[in-house]
Structure 1
Amino acid sequence: MQNQAPESPIQRIVLIVSDGTGITAETFSHAVLSQFQSVSFQQMRIPFIDTLEKAAEVAERIDRYTQERGQPPIVFSTLVDQQILARVRQSSGIFLDLFGTFVAPIEEALGVKSSHSVGRTHMGVTSEQYRNRIEAINFTLGHDDGQFVRELSQADVILVGVSRCGKTPTSLYLAMQYAIKAANYPLIPEDFERNTLPATLLPWRHKLFGLSINPERLSEVRNERRPNSVYASLEQCRHEVAEAERMMRREGISWHSTTTKSIEEISTTVMQAMKLGSTTY
């Protein structure tokens, strides 16, 4: 009997339609669609749909996809203007209105009508929250990889761990998404030889959170940067990871493995452990 070829995954077009950037709807769609691992989704973001003319073009695009593929696209929307929303909904897409789904129950619970203002998610470029975010990003960029050690007193958290374990992307995500001033500092072989934390970090022990990683994965990551080097060798990676984890345990530093975690998951873990991220609107 001949082996049967594996079935091709189901494929579906997904459109993210918004009167703003569409980032909010895109983030939500990723979370929802990740539950359907047997389906291959082709996602496209269509931002700044803020006129009836643009809405008509989107509706035509949706109908064209339906005709070409024989299946209607899945449409995630954060459109606020009711006329624009109604025009897009005249199309053949499977429509998921995120604002309509959540705003109406909240209006009923609060006894207050929402403003139905376009672009409210990203308004307030002069607001305190926006300024805090910009300050956090600048701080984090300036305190990446231990390159600037002054003003660590201003840090909300200082991530420590071996080189290439995920400190920089986690720091930037915390700054950009939550206005958290996140510095990061590498633990290097010289620190392990001294058997102590870098002196720069000792006054801020209460702000430290450690990141670790599986040595095999670390070797893969380092080989992409410095192929066939001692730095990237599995033996070196095993040594550094073991020493870093030993140091963090000895110093009483909470730590988390990044090996199989997304930046969002790592950041959430850091925020919970360090009690960060409360936001008021």
Structure 2
Amino acid sequence: MPTSAHISTISNETGGRAAYFVSDSTGITAETLGSALLANFPGVTFHRYTIPFIDTVDGARNVARNIREHVQAGRQPIAFTTIKSNDILNELRASGAFLIDLLSGHLTELEDALGTTASEQLGQYHGVGDIERYFARMRAVEYAIEHDDGQSMRALDIADVIIVAPSRCGKTPTTMYLALQYGLLVANYPLTDDDFPSDGLPSAVAHYLDKCFGLTTTPLRLSQVRHERRPNSTYSSLAQCMLELRRAEDLYRRNRVPFLNSSTKSVEEMSAVIMQSMRLRS
């Protein structure tokens, strides 16, 4: 349900369009699909509001009340929904928003294809679902935490992939995304000065060459990220970043380790490239 803090932000908006992601569950599906559509309009500024757990008519009325503030100000908002209840949807339709029902039509098509009707139970998209798949993801997250930044070398033989890269190139968020989203066992290992000038991979991961995937970035981007952590240090200097990235990329090429530049890619994009390159399946 929108809070008073949410309401106060409406009057502070300048330009652009409000985009609501309204769901009877976590809002992740509505936000992901809606954002994918909005990404096709880079010239438009969007003020985004994710409103989860709208599973009652009263909850929908509260959302509709906030939407009407935009309408009355002359800025019709866009509302993406993954709500199945017609009563709740009708409240949102009456709000004056341009409503995009992300399920409309598709559920009917799927019912026809499967010869059965969809369940009316709310909030199923991010429920536990397949219990074995759920526990596999949780085990993968535990594995990722244990093996983050080279903290543990235990059980690397069961890893699906080992991400190798200099510090602050995006190893940890990519590792966690692959674990949580796909249930993959992912370790990551930081390349440091001690790992050079050896021609081969660091001894800790050298036996698992076929599991390794490298990340790189641009020296300027790496320097900026490191500066936030340790400003005005050798670690964050542009010269040090250039040196580490050059040595890492040379290492990847010598050992035929696939790698990608993370500077302009989202975690989702990097994960997709890694899975495709390493021929991994969730």
Q: Same fold (TM over 0.5)?
A: yes
- Cα deviations across residues 184-206 of structure 1 (Å, max 9, x unaligned)? 00111221123321112122111
How many Å apart are 1:127 and its aligned residue? 0.7
Name the structure 1 match of 2:48.
Answer: 43
Distance in 2 between the 1:10 and 1:33 partners? 16
1:188 pairs, out of 176, 192, 197, with 192
CA RMSD in angstroms comes to: 1.8
Bigger shift: residues 98-107 or 149-158 = 98-107
Name the structure 1 match of 2:273. 269
Q: Contact (CA 8 Å) 1:271, 1:277: kept in 2 or not?
A: yes
Q: In 1, Cα distance between the equivalents of 2:234 and 2:95?
A: 59
Residue 3 of structure 2: aligned partner: none
Question: What is residue 3 of structure 1 aligned with on the other side?
Answer: none
Asked if the contact 1:78–1:98 (Cα under 8 Å) also holds between the matched residues in 2, the reply is yes
Unpaired runs of 5+ residues, structure 1, are: 1-8
User: In the TM superposition, what is the alpha-carbon distance from 1:15 to its structure 2 partner?
Assistant: 1.2
Q: Counterpart amino acid of 1:199?
A: S
- Write out the 4+ residue segments of structure 1 that deviate beyond 4 Å after TM superposition: none
Give the superposition deviation at 1:251: 0.8
Q: Using a 3 Å threshold, how does the CA distance of structure 1 residues 272 and 61 change in structure 2: closer, same or farther?
A: same
Q: Which digits, 9 at most, give the CA deviation of each residue in 1:95-130, with x for residues without a partner?
A: 000111421222233333222321111222771111
Q: Which amino acid aligns with 1:91?
A: S
Deviation at 1:59, TM superposition (A): 2.4
- 1:211-266 CA-to-partner distances (Å, cap 9, x unmatched) read 11112221222122122222222222111111111111111111111111111111
Number of equivalent positions: 270
Aligned to 1:4: none
State how 1:188-207 maps to structure 2 within 5 Å.
188-207=192-211
Match of residue 82 from structure 2: 78
Q: Which moved more, 1:259-268 or 1:51-60?
A: 51-60
Q: CA deviation at 1:78?
A: 0.6
Q: Matches of 2:146 and 2:129 in 1, distance apart?
A: 22
How high is the sequence identity, in percent, across the aligned residues? 45
Unaligned 5+ runs, structure 2: 1-13
The equivalent of 2:124 in structure 1 is 120
Matched with 1:257 is: 261
Aligned to 1:18: 23
Q: 1:31: which partner in 2?
A: 36
Tell me, yes or no, if the aligned pair for 1:10 and 1:39 is still in contact at 8 Å. Answer: no
Task: Provide the rounded CA distance (Å) in 2 between the counterparts of 1:42 and 1:102.
Answer: 27
Match of 1:60 in 2: 65
Q: Bigger CA drift: 179-188 or 228-237?
A: 228-237
Pair 1:245-2:249 in alignment? yes
Alignment of 1:109-258 (within 5 A): 109-124=113-128, 127-258=131-262
Letter in 2 for 1:18: S
